[in-house]
A and B are shown apart, each in its own frame.
Chain A
Amino acid sequence: MITTILQLFWSFLQIGFTSFGGLSMIPLINSEMLGHGWMTATEVSDIVAIAEMTPGPLGLNCATFAGIRVAGIPGALAANFGMLMPTFTICAVAAVFFERFRDSAVLGHIMTTVRPVCIGLIWGVILSLCLENYTVGGAVSFRSILAGVLGLYLLIFRKCSVPKVICAAAVFGILFCPGQ
């Protein structure tokens, strides 16, 4: 039991350090799960679909699913902790570095150009989410677009908070959207 938990921790630690968010980690998750015999190939693709739908980052959701399947709640905690190790090491060092050089001219100038590039990155995320979420099996889904437009109206003109809009969208989905 202890060895399985350590193996889970080690696997997800490797996945964490070599992934930079999003779908880039799927091949590695796939080979780790199949290599240890923890999941079948269909289970991996199922869990990727579920992990993308439910709230939470994809990597952590996969960690929880695989962890519980293999070794219960302790397994889930170990896998999550492994997945978070980059944050507690690399990111922790970066945070110290960043606080110390915050006022230096070089870092100031670098961040001046990184900020707009980061905004461009977010625009890229929005565009790919639109491509994904406003189509059902290749065809444009007008109900989803209507939900999106209503959400945008609530957010920008009625200044509704994000949780309220997400809950409203779930209700809209239950009433009007076809399930896939």
Chain B
Amino acid sequence: MKEKFLRALGLYAYFFRIGWFTFGGGWSIVAQMQTDFVEKDHTIDNQELLDIVSVGRSLPGTMIGNVAYLFGCHQCGVLGGVLSVLGIITPPLIILSIVTLFYHSFQNNLYVARALTGVRAVVAPVIFSAVLKLQKAETPLPKYAFYGLCAAGCILSFVFHASSILVVVAGVLCGVLYHGKQSRKNRS
């Protein structure tokens, strides 16, 4: 029991540390989780991270809260999930409290604006470097089908502005068809 509590506290500490760098709608956190958990610690693999992100993104609420909860829960039960969420939201809560108090001076500060222009310029590269590694997730699908589905997801969301939940549901439908095909293959 005590050991579990300490592990959950460790999750709080980890998410508190990376919560200061939540940019690009939380996608930079997914990039950090990829390097820390998949590459360094091997606690989860690319597939599991993608599962967590797909589920977290398609449920209502804040994506990064959902992702933190699902990861924490997977590692250390409900307590781990709750503490992970609290960890990831503490830094934005502190920062926004300060910003709200100094709203007007913050809004007109040239250096703040410049620093944030710089930060915004590297958010896309941060997510890009993570997606390159996520694409290496093992899959039983043939290459053309895997990249075809990637392209379809990208076109649906970027060109047709379909909401993420619609895109994930489309992926689920493809999965049902794929399941039907596989079970027919196994039967014959």
Contacts and interface: CB of A to CB of B under 8 A. Distances in A.
A25 to B, nearest CB: 10
B184 to A, nearest CB: 12
A174 B55 contact: no
Contacts of A20: 57-60, 163-165
A88 B82 contact: yes
Contact of A133 (B59, B62, B121): B121
B13 to A, nearest CB: 15
Interface in B41-77: 47, 50-51, 53-66, 69-70, 73-74
B114 A177 contact: yes
Residues of A contacting B: mostly: helix
A59 B157 CA distance: 20
B24 A129 contact: yes
A148 B121 CA distance: 5
Residues of B contacting A: mostly: helix
Interface residues of B, number: 110
Interface string B78-116: 100110010001011101110111010011001101111
Contact of B127 (A60, A112, A125): A125
A22 B148 CA distance: 26
Contacts of B6: none
Contacts of B125: 148-149, 151-152, 155, 165
B92 A21 contact: no
Nearest to B120: A133
B9 interface: no
Given A64-B92, A88-B82, A165-B122, A95 B134 contact: no
Contacts of A71: none
A168 B69 CA distance: 30
Interface in A55-94: 55-61, 64-65, 68-69, 73, 76, 80, 83-88, 90-92, 94
B22 A57 contact: yes
B96 A133 contact: no
A119 B134 contact: yes
Max chain A Cβ within 10 angstroms of own Cβ: one of B58, B122, B145, B163: B122
13 contacts: A19-B60, A20-B163, A21-B26, A54-B116, A60-B62, A64-B96, A86-B66, A87-B65, A95-B69, A98-B51, A114-B54, A119-B153, A179-B111
Nearest 5 CB-CB pairings of A with B = A173-B118, A120-B153, A56-B92, A86-B61, A110-B175
